[in-house]
Amino acid sequence: MSHAGADHAATDQAAAGQVSERARAIAAKVEAFVREVVVPYERDARLGPHGPSEDLVIELKEKARAAGVLTPHILEDGDHLTQIETAYVLIRSGLSPLGPVAVNTAAPDEGNMYLLGKVGSPEQKQQFLKPLVEGRARSAFFMTEPALEGGAGSDPSMMKTTCRPDGNHWVINGRKAFITGAEGARVGIVMAKSDDGACMFLVDLPNPAIRTERVLDTIDSSMPGGHAVVVIDNLRVPADQMLGASGEGFKYAQVRLSPARLSHCMRWLGACTRANEIATDYACRREAFGKLLIDHEGVGFMLAENLIDLKQAELMIDWCAGVLDSGSLGTAESSMAKVAVSEALMRIADRCVQVMGGMGVSADTIVEQVFREVRAFRIYDGPTEVHKWSLAKKIKRDWKHARHA
């Protein structure tokens, strides 16, 4: 099977001088590991509708550890790769839906590690970040709430989960929904609202005060533990496990959310690169009406459009990564990248299914799974329409500012 798509991207980025030698070396090891070790697991019986089983996750991480590619975006001294370097590595980790799980670059752990690295105290990093980086624990980010109860979703200011001080503890109550990886997680970051505003708390899991009501049946199936609805009933958290200060939770959420949006783009670009490889291989082998599918203009043009969308997605990711590396929060830029990339990847995945016909909707390859996962990505981390609405508000603000300048 051709790896031309990934190789071409690597050549272009290297030629542009954007990627360091260390990132190229790490990415090469990650890509080799995912293609050679992880891909054969894609038909493992331990893959279910709510993601890979815990024993499969452990097995894959042990193999990544042995290969020296576990948590490749965080270096041995604790330093984090730049966002441009991270993109180069995470795209390759995403060449299989199981790749990010295996090498410990998956959501929500990758975003949670980033947040803890930026905001956590030395003691919090030792207790909560260290086991995540070492791949010995998974985490969950408890922010979203049940929509039909008027809780926080795309608008976190609607948060209904409360927290109140009680001596040297805080007591938290509420319900959360779509909590990725809550089942099996050992580290939780819980968002709640105090009299000061939003707060974040670090929690050891499992905890009897956090109860899973059910794990939702969703269109995607790549993330361990699935997406749960949970009840938080009088959860007591020591005051020193508050992340930062009371009322600063939304600010910390922004520290996490922009890079996390972009990381999703990186991983799913890798998955769509692989799906396109599979569709291309199929079109170059399959004959119909007297010639190969690739020689039929309708098919060849779809694959040509895929190359264009793949390149545009890569360039949007690199542009936004550069903005984040400059020190900016990149809120607007990450919204633009998230919309552009998720919509482009949806077109790519859809064309791959179409090119492959019946094979494209079967589980014989990962193409149908990539289609499902990318469809969910258009909603997760903010639906396309919410990001466009946010950008429209910015356009209006900028216009007003320019008029009165």
Structure confidence by residue, pLDDT tens digits, 50-109:
999 999 999 999 999 999 999 999 998 889 999 999 999 999 999 999 999 999 999 999
Residue 1: pLDDT over 50: no
Which numeric CATH code is attached to 4-133?
1.10.540.10
Instruction: Note the pLDDT of residue 405.
Output: 79
Instruction: Note the pLDDT of residue 154.
Output: 83
In eight-state DSSP terms, residue 128 is: I
146-177: string of b/e by CB count within 10 Å (b at 16+)?
A: beeeebbbbebeebbbbbeeeeeebbbbbbbb
In whole angstroms, give the CA distance from residue 184 to residue 296: 48
Q: Which band of pLDDT confidence, cut at 50, 70 and 90, is reported for residue 3?
A: low
Q: Averaged over 19-43, what is the pLDDT?
A: 97
CA distances from 347 to 121, 184, 302, 383, 400 (A): 42, 33, 10, 16, 36
Q: Which two tokens stand for residue 74?
A: 């965080």
pLDDT per residue as tens digits for the range 313-358: 999 999 999 999 999 999 999 999 999 999 999 999 999 999 999 9
Q: Can you say whether the dihedral through the CA atoms of 23, 29, 30, 32 is positive or negative? A: positive
Percent of the chain with pLDDT over 70: 96
139-246: in CATH 2.40.110.10 = yes
Comparing 3 with 249, the larger pLDDT belongs to 249
Domain borders along the chain are 4-133, 139-246, 250-397
At the fourth CATH level, the homologous superfamily of domain 250-397 is Butyryl-CoA Dehydrogenase, subunit A, domain 3 (1.20.140.10)
Q: Which band of pLDDT confidence, cut at 50, 70 and 90, is reported for residue 13?
A: very low
Residue 17: pLDDT over 80: no
Q: In whole numbers, what is the pLDDT of the chain averaged over residues?
A: 94
Q: Which of 9-13, 65-69, 102-106, 206-210 has the lowest mean pLDDT?
A: 9-13
Instruction: Note the pLDDT of residue 87.
Output: 98
**Matching fold, domains 4-133 and 139-246:** no
Q: Which two tokens stand for residue 13?
A: 């980025």
